[in-house]
Amino acid sequence: MNKTDLIERLAEKHSLSKAEAGRVLETLLDTIVAQVKKGDAVTIPGFGSFKLHARAARNGVNPSTGAKIKIAAAKLPKFTPGATFKAAVDAKAAARKAAKAPAAKPAKAAKPAKAAKPVVKAAKPAAKPAKKAAAKKK
């Protein structure tokens, strides 16, 4: 789907002319771009959020020559999809995530203290004198 298709869909769905739908879409996109450019985040609950992402300068390598180059810092727009959008695109992934995340567990009731068991040590058997005497003679 491209921009023209989107404008046609808006016009059909909301009984607008294509010109009106185009202006609405342009206003929406211009507003998002202007806010992100200022550094503000634009969040549409359930759909996602648009943010400005600052990438630091770094060193890189030219793949064709192998020469080291410096890559300048950059400010880039970043879109993070919302949970509802993710679930609509891949319902199985949402189910896996729900199964993986531990459900809210009810608070465990305190266990009653166990009574201490008395420790009984068995008496050591007396050494057999015959073995000790035989060992001394050798």
Per-residue pLDDT tens for 48-71? 999 999 999 999 999 999 999 999
Cβ partners under 8 Å of residue 37, min gap 6: 52
Cβ partners under 8 Å of residue 58, min gap 6: 70, 71
Model confidence pLDDT, tens digit, residues 2-60: 999 999 999 999 999 999 999 999 999 999 999 999 999 999 999 999 999 999 999 99
Record the tokens describing residue 135, joined without a space. 């060992």
User: To 10 degrees, the CA torsion angle through 86, 90, 95, 97?
Assistant: -50
Q: Which domain holds residue 24?
A: 1-40
Is 134 domain-assigned?
Answer: no
**Domain count within the chain:** 2
Do 53 and 88 lie in a common domain? yes
